Chains A and B, each alone.
Chain A
Amino acid sequence: MNNSIRVNCTKKNLKLIRDFVVEYLRAYALSDIITNQIVLAVDEICANLIIHANHENPDKFIHLAIHQQKEMLKFEISDNGLAFQRSKYKEPNIEENIRMGKKGGVGIALVNRIMDKVEFESNDSQNVCVLYKKIK
């Protein structure tokens, strides 16, 4: 089965990535809710990379590869843009966001709550985000 996809950094390609993940997950016959959660987590990371790390530059690319490791699905998303600085990340306060009319800042919270493990690595010019989800 094809387990990887590479797209350039435009927001329209998020749909391609989601369709790819749905297709990959089909073999696992997961519930609608779990499938949607996994697709969402991957979509959130890819949206951040496309918009914030690569400023929607269509000459830049992101790459997603999916592997199964025992009871885990591993999603590896890489790019060559600005690295995500986890030390600067703050969990959002949703009620505060509502009061302030704030539009962004809840994507990584979704990823952290959905996935079993979330890793960010950067070396030289490459950044890799790895998401793990238990499926059994």
Chain B
Amino acid sequence: MKITQEIKESTVIMTLDGELDASSSVILDEELSDPEIMKYSKILVDCEKLNYISSAGLGVFISHLQRFEDAQIKLIFYNMQDKVRNVFEILGLDLLMTIVSDYEEARTVSNE
């Protein structure tokens, strides 16, 4: 799993590249736990190269969601592959998290 971050004003664009399983999701947890991230109001997660997610990866997002919401930080996923989106859907997480089709839509939704 490779995670890169790009900062654009009040937005963090986080690109996930690889597979998020019980082994690799620790890195994601470290990135999302970094107090620095709370300075931004939007986190856009580019999932185009996210080829796999297991419950450990989902768990990391689940565990930070409330904290971001309380701090009024918007967490938005985009460019998600169908097979990965399906895993969110099995648990109904697609209804509890914001998943949009592409970067343009992510930007629009993040400004609402």
Instruction: Determine whether A98 belongs to the interface, using a CB cutoff of 8 Å to chain B.
Output: yes
Q: In the complex, what's the smallest C-beta–C-beta distance from B96 to chain A, in angstroms? A: 6
A81-105 CB contacts (< 8 Å) to partner B = 94-95, 97-105
Which of B59, B82, B92 contacts A104, CB < 8 Å?
Answer: B59
Contacts of B65 in A (CB 8 A): 98, 101
A47–B22 CA distance with the chains assembled, in angstroms? 7
Instruction: Determine whether A8 belongs to the interface, using a CB cutoff of 8 Å to chain B.
Output: no
Which of B52, B54, B67, B86 contacts A44, CB < 8 Å?
Answer: B54
B21 near A101 with CB under 8 A, answer no
B62 near A47 with CB under 8 A, answer no
Which of B23, B60, B64, B90 contacts A15, CB < 8 Å?
Answer: B23
B66 near A99 with CB under 8 A, answer yes
Instruction: Determine whether B31 belongs to the interface, using a CB cutoff of 8 Å to chain A.
Output: no
B23 near A103 with CB under 8 A, answer no
B67 near A14 with CB under 8 A, answer no
Q: Report the interface size class on chain A.
A: 20 to 34
B67 near A40 with CB under 8 A, answer no
The binding surface of chain B is classed by DSSP as helix
- A11-B22, A104-B59, A106-B62 are known contacts. Are A47 and B54 too (CB-CB below 8 A)? yes
- A18-B52, A33-B83 are known contacts. Are A47 and B66 too (CB-CB below 8 A)? no
Task: Tell me the nearest residue of chain B to A36, going by C-beta.
Answer: B83
30 contacts between A and B (CB under 8 A): A11-B22, A12-B23, A15-B21, A18-B21, A18-B52, A33-B86, A36-B87, A37-B86, A37-B90, A40-B54, A40-B87, A43-B54, A44-B54, A47-B22, A47-B54, A47-B56, A94-B62, A97-B62, A101-B63, A101-B65, A102-B59, A103-B62, A105-B59, A106-B55, A106-B59, A106-B91, A107-B54, A110-B54, A110-B55, A113-B91
